[in-house]
Structure 1
Amino acid sequence: MRYLSNCLRMLGVVALIAASAAAQAQTWPERPVRLVVPFPAGGATDLVARVIAQRVSKDIGQQIVVDNKAGAGGTIGSAEAAKATADAYTLLLTTSSTHAISPHLMPKLPYDAIKDFTPIAHLADAASVLLVTPSLPVKTVPELIAYAKKHPGQLNYASSGNGTIVHLTTEAFKAQAGIFITHVPYKGTALAIPDVIAGSVPVLIDSIPSGMPHVKSGRLRALAVTGDKRSALAPELPTVAEAGLPGFSSVTWFGLYAPRGMKADLVVRVHEAFAKAAHAPEVVESLAKLGVEPAPPGTPAQFAEMVSADSQRWARIIRERKITLE
């Protein structure tokens, strides 16, 4: 009898916990939500976060406070978010840099990209554009590859720094094309643009919004975009895959995480709020101006699977191309 009584008591506790979790999800949010962005204000991730956060705030009736915690390639802010309480009042909006690339470049990463977070939503993607100086006698991807093969080691390419997605994307391009081009790292592509225009470092993969104005002015030539489909900002440009490297695709993804251990019902609630906002017409329009497109509708599990595949891909590139942060 006592055993039965204890069992019933335990079942009551379990039911109470489940009811509490469900109630928490239904009432979220009851106060402002902190959205950690592990990159500087004014950068692409910050702008994406603010555009989406504004719409989420409108929909849920609570302010989403964007908190920029930049430093160490996004790892400082990510680590801070990982240590927060998993109550959906601290969230992290980040990119492939912190969760698919840094784990393979930083042996002492202050967080575990898988174990320390609850994946919430794949929100958006941004492709890049392959640029060359107009003085380089190539107008297509096949012509660039042929030129590089004819002049091995004579071409340079710029990047935004060692281990950045610009660096990795160009190395992936080189590997698939079977060419050798020397890497010249800069502290951001903005600093590289003058040298690319001058022709001293004639090749660069850059974001579409920052690169295309130089194309329209005639100072640079665009060959292709790196995504798996053409960009609305430059629909005349083929993808790299269309232009001669089948299957090639590289995008920066933007995703939402919570600290590990967040309740399933709460995950669903937060996912719905942010995924809905990312597809709101005014958000889509604002993101398009940044060269960013909302991700296809999906689940938190599908987001986790996508990140895992992306991480494995960059791990292979980093390993095979012997990429380091030095």
Structure 2
Amino acid sequence: MTRPRQSRRSVLLLAAAAGLPVPALAQAYPDRPLRFVIPWPPGGTNDIVGRLVSDGLSHRLGQPVVIENRGGAGGALGAEVVAKSAPDGYTLLLGGSGSLTINQLVRKRLPYDPATAFAPVGMIGSGANVIVVHPSVRATNLRELQAAARGASPPLNYASPGVGSTGHAAGALITQVLGAEMEHVPYRGTGPAMNDVVAGRIQVFTNALAPMQSQIQAGTVRPLAIAGTRRNAALPDVPTTGEAGFPDIQAATWYALLTTGGTPPDRVQRLFEALSATISDPEIRRKLEDGGIDVEPSESPAAFARFVAEDAARWEPVVRRAGVSIE
């Protein structure tokens, strides 16, 4: 008998002698690597947030947390992978307002039931979206964008990270509130969309700050407004949409951790504790905040589940009013 097997047998015999639950001890969770699905391609805010969190989870769970980028269908392809995995807590999902809330509102058919497919673990944080334009657009604020869009022929276009994403709904909302026609151009993630904005093939883009920050600083895109109720510390001179005269344009993106529906509550709790410790780490928190994310830990998995339901209720009239729908 090898030494590792001797050690394991000794531990189990001691546990049995002490009256401890041997099966639970033998099946400690987690005892192998975890899979962390990010339902967007590399390069966007979801990817940045997911990789920061995965490192922290790995350290606190004592197992590797392996990133898998699975973009497409506004986050639905990656979400489907998690929804159809074994409910054992070994497959995780970086969920968000786009892939979870907006997608289920705009898509009439999904390959899973959003109400039961996932076990909510906890919130990571959120950030108001930033509205930017390519420098070729003659606009330094939303009023000027409104005038430029109304007078454009052909119409200006706006990018989104994908059909059914927060950026898609936000862009549609902007066109409605400005009363101007703009053409939607969907991409497979924030990174590809941002590349075309910088290249001048796209005029308008609305997204979380992190993947746009370096381009804003370089002057390759121009920020017009923060689509939230308060200014962002990283862009203190950029007004909110309310300050710019368009308070109805509100679009925040949130990020959270989920696992497969039906996962045992004790494993969900273990993940929740690891997530809470991760986003409380000063260095990880600093990096998230530097990327424009307000860290917002949940009180419990149940509290986060309530938040998800409330978020869907907030977005439903916005999506309906903006006319975003996918067969």
- Structure 2 length normalisation: TM-score? 0.78
Distance in 2, matches of 1:30 and 1:82, equals 21
Task: Sort the Cα spacing of 1:186 and 1:246 in 2 relative to 1 into closer, same or farther, 3 A.
Answer: closer
Secondary structure at 1:241 match in 2: coil
Counterpart in the other structure of 2:205:
204
Task: Sort the Cα spacing of 1:137 and 1:119 in 2 relative to 1 into closer, same or farther, 3 A.
Answer: same
Counterpart in the other structure of 2:179:
179
Counterpart in the other structure of 2:318:
317
- Whether contact under 8 Å (1:162, 1:324) holds in the other structure is no
Distance in 1, matches of 2:295 and 2:323, equals 33
Task: Sort the Cα spacing of 1:256 and 1:139 in 2 relative to 1 into closer, same or farther, 3 A.
Answer: same
* Pair 1:277-2:278 in alignment: yes
Secondary structure at 1:308 match in 2: helix
- Whether contact under 8 Å (2:166, 2:253) holds in the other structure is yes
Q: Compute the RMSD of aligned alpha carbons.
A: 3.2
Moved more, 207-216 or 52-61: 207-216
The share of aligned pairs that are identical, in percent, is 30
Distance in 1, matches of 2:141 and 2:295, equals 28
* Pair 1:31-2:32 in alignment: yes
- State the 1:135 CA deviation: 5.6
| Structure 1 unpaired stretches of 5+ | 1-18
Counterpart in the other structure of 2:257:
256
- State the 1:202 CA deviation: 4.1
Counterpart in the other structure of 1:120:
121
Counterpart in the other structure of 1:192:
196
Secondary structure at 1:266 match in 2: helix
Counterpart in the other structure of 2:56:
55
Distance in 2, matches of 1:90 and 1:195, equals 37
| Structure 2 unpaired stretches of 5+ | 1-19
- Whether contact under 8 Å (1:155, 1:201) holds in the other structure is no
Counterpart in the other structure of 2:90:
89
Secondary structure at 1:108 match in 2: coil
Secondary structure at 1:273 match in 2: helix
The CA deviation string for residues 150-185 of structure 1, in whole angstroms up to 9 with x for no partner, is: 74987624112543322211222344x352232241
- Structure 1 length normalisation: TM-score? 0.78
Moved more, 53-62 or 294-303: 294-303
- Whether contact under 8 Å (2:75, 2:165) holds in the other structure is no
Distance in 2, matches of 1:131 and 1:38, equals 24
Secondary structure at 2:108 match in 1: coil
Task: Sort the Cα spacing of 1:141 and 1:213 in 2 relative to 1 into closer, same or farther, 3 A.
Answer: same
- State the 1:110 CA deviation: 0.8
Counterpart in the other structure of 1:241:
242
Task: Sort the Cα spacing of 1:152 and 1:304 in 2 relative to 1 into closer, same or farther, 3 A.
Answer: farther
Distance in 1, matches of 2:61 and 2:42, equals 24
Distance in 2, matches of 1:74 and 1:319, equals 20
Distance in 2, matches of 1:290 and 1:95, equals 16
- Whether contact under 8 Å (1:35, 1:67) holds in the other structure is yes
Counterpart in the other structure of 1:298:
299
- State the 1:75 CA deviation: 1.8
* Pair 1:65-2:66 in alignment: yes
Secondary structure at 2:125 match in 1: strand
Distance in 2, matches of 1:135 and 1:79, equals 39
Task: Sort the Cα spacing of 1:43 and 1:204 in 2 relative to 1 into closer, same or farther, 3 A.
Answer: closer
- State the 1:116 CA deviation: 1.4
Give the partner amino acid of 1:189.
A
- Whether contact under 8 Å (1:90, 1:258) holds in the other structure is yes
Secondary structure at 1:99 match in 2: helix
Secondary structure at 1:81 match in 2: helix
Secondary structure at 1:119 match in 2: strand
- Whether contact under 8 Å (1:186, 1:192) holds in the other structure is no
The CA deviation string for residues 204-249 of structure 1, in whole angstroms up to 9 with x for no partner, is: 3244244344443444432211234322321222222343333643
Alignment of 1:126-165 (within 5 A): 126-134=127-135, 136=137, 138-145=139-146, 147=147, 151=151, 156-160=156-160, 161-165=162-166
- State the 1:276 CA deviation: 2.0
Distance in 2, matches of 1:220 and 1:90, equals 37
Counterpart in the other structure of 1:4:
none
- Whether contact under 8 Å (1:132, 1:223) holds in the other structure is yes
- State the 1:88 CA deviation: 1.6
Counterpart in the other structure of 1:16:
none
